[in-house]
Amino acid sequence: MENNLIITRFPPSPTGYLHVGGARTALFNWLHARHMKGKFILRIEDTDRLRSTQESIDAIFEALDWLEIDWDKGPFFQSERFDIYRKYVEKLLDSGDAYYCTCSPEKLKKMREKAMAAGGKPRYDGICREKGLGSGEDAVVRFRSPRTGTTVLQDTIKGNIVFQNNELDDFIITRSDGTPTYNFVVVVDDITMNINTVIRGDDHVMNTPKQILLYRALNSPLPAFGHVPMVLGSDRTRLSKRHGAMSVLAYREMGYLPDAFLNYLVRLGWSYGDQEFFTRDELIEKFTLSNIGQSPGVFDQEKLLALNAAHIKTVPPNRLVNRLSPFLKAHGYDIQPSPFIESVIKTLNARSKTLKAMAESALFYFKDEISYDDKAANKFLRPGVLPSIQLLIQTLQALDRFEEKDLEGAFLAVMEQTGLKLGKIAQPVRIALTGKTASPGIFEIIEILGKDRVISRLKKAVDFIMEKSD
């Protein structure tokens, strides 16, 4: 063991994209390792050659990169470790803890049917257990499970779980084609990688007694096991696509911040008092396995959205530029870090729930031509507002400085000369500048747009009103 460091791992199977449940497992292991100043290992469990794809491997890496979940060792690939697995199979064969079995699929089927007919579980009856068979073309290798006593899983989250050994059959550790099975390779990997803490979903609980028996047969210390409750949908059924169980990268495309997504994931089963909002550093500081609950987490899209909005508000504008950039690029605007874009973000971050929504709200800052919402234009861009807009154009043209205080003075001057209240002037101006009835503060957007563009847009609004009234 590496100086008794806590060593955790995340071992995804590359048979699809990284989803919510897998991302939460990765997060819990990563946070525990970071909190304990230990190590976090990434292992790709790609022994299923038919279903494993390079596309899925790349997608897993991309998702972890977006979430900024980094690893200290790896990635290791099980498909590259077959020589190691063969050595451990030989160890078990040599010690008598494993044996060859040549039962055909037909024979095994009848065996299971017979067991079920007798009221038992469909299981292998151990017929080859004492035959002393050697390797052969159709032979599998089975683990010799104890037939008496109990195997106890000391779970740091669920407490002790006792399994009767007579309920376990002699499970296969190597198939007839020579490929090792899941429960076996997981144990060999965890032993050889010095994994001493295994945090995973509670759908793995039933695998654990088999794995514990393998650890003991290989004379290796057990890791600390912790099985976290499942994530459910809002209707408390197993999480599926209709609940939001999409690829993690889909949330990136929808405009979620990685820190907000992590914040929400960790709260699906873990708590720290009543606190809901956490920065990444706070999570590392406060995360402990003892605060993982035993009840399933319920995935709620609205709560995730609210948490994302809260994170967007707190991130400094200069750190949002690169995050926002792809969403503006999708609309044809290739932005670079600048005081201008930071000012734009500053006007929108308190009112945007996602980066995608922020980009859509920001478009008026970049457009050469503003198109008016029909309903807004019909209500506010009417002949009666022409005198005030024309007066405002003259007043703004006369300004030497175009800062918020100067702009307020310009509007006050127009209000005094026309006798109109601010709203009667500001709302038509808002439509003229943004095309919509809702926007950031009128003085903020005027200052950011700048004198030339503001006056140009106001003049176009005057033309629009005059053409409409002809």
Contact between 259 and 279 under an 8 Å Cβ cutoff? The reply is yes
**Cβ(431)–Cβ(437) below 8 Å:** yes
Q: How far is C-alpha 21 from the chain's CA centre?
A: 9
d(CA 470, CA 453) in angstroms, rounded, equals 26
Known catalytic residue at 241:
yes
| Beta-carbon count within 10 A of 267 CB | 21
Residue bearing tokens 């926002």: 324
Nearest-10 crossing angle of helices 422-434, 404-418: 120
Give CA–CA dist 62/166, Å, rounded: 44
Find the catalytic residue in 241, 329, 379, 468: 241
**Pairing verdict, β 197-201 and 224-228:** parallel
CA atoms within 13 A on the CB side of 40: 20
Q: CA–CA distance from 287 to each of 28, 29, 264, 273 (Å)?
A: 8, 10, 14, 12
Q: Mind telling me the catalytic residues?
A: 241
